[in-house]
Amino acid sequence: MYLLHIDFTTPVKRNFFSNLIKKFQKTKYSHVRLRWINSTKRELIYEASGSEVKFLGTIAQETHKSEIIKTYSIPLTKEEYRELVDTCMEFAGIKYGVLQVLGIALTTIFNLDKNPFSDDRKSQVCSELVGRVLERVKKYHIPYDLDVAGPKEIDKTLRELMKDFPEIELKNG
């Protein structure tokens, strides 16, 4: 059995952009990412951060330190694990959606229906990426438009899913 961890994090070092997201979403975290132990027993992190969607191997994890605020752990079958890897390979290298983050803020401030900077998946932000992976790999329904959802909405969704899927475990939450 494989375990997929959904980590809600904040940078160890002070970060203006992270602090803005936390203030805006009223959370202790500013980022959501995926983490798992691969078939060669190495821990991988997969995230939309910096300039692109990427894997962080063990060496990169040492230089990109984050504090994990909470983690949801979800068991995967062998088939789901294969779908996870396949989906992550498909999205790897897509640019990070800096303008989409601004659009998420604008949709909230001005009560807009759509993100004005949505670009039909040509770029991804952390919450959008995690939501798409959960929809594809676990077939979970995400009740938010992923072009406007932030980490807080992914957290709310996972908390709700725990009611119907008792195999989802929450740590530190």
What is the DSSP code string of 81-106? HHHHHHHHHHHTTPEE-HHHHHHHHH
Domain total in the chain: 1
> Per residue in 71-96, pLDDT tens?
999 999 999 999 999 999 999 999 99
Residue 173 scores a pLDDT above 80: no
Of 46-50, 60-64, 71-75, 150-154, the least confident = 60-64
Residue 171 DSSP SS3: strand
In this prediction, residue 168 carries a pLDDT of 96
Residue 58 carries which DSSP code?
A: H
- Domain that includes residue 91, residue range: 2-171
In this prediction, residue 120 carries a pLDDT of 84
Residue 32 scores a pLDDT above 90: yes
For the chain, the average pLDDT equals: 95
Q: Give the dihedral sign, CA 163/153/112/120.
A: negative
Q: What is the CATH number of the domain that holds 67?
A: 3.90.1720.10
Residue 14 scores a pLDDT above 80: yes
CB neighbours of 25 closer than 8 A, spacing ≥ 6? 150, 151, 152
Q: Where are the alpha helices (DSSP H) in the chain?
A: 16-25, 58-63, 78-91, 98-109, 126-138, 151-164
pTM: 0.95
pLDDT band at 99 (very low <50, low <70, confident <90, very high): very high
In this prediction, residue 31 carries a pLDDT of 97
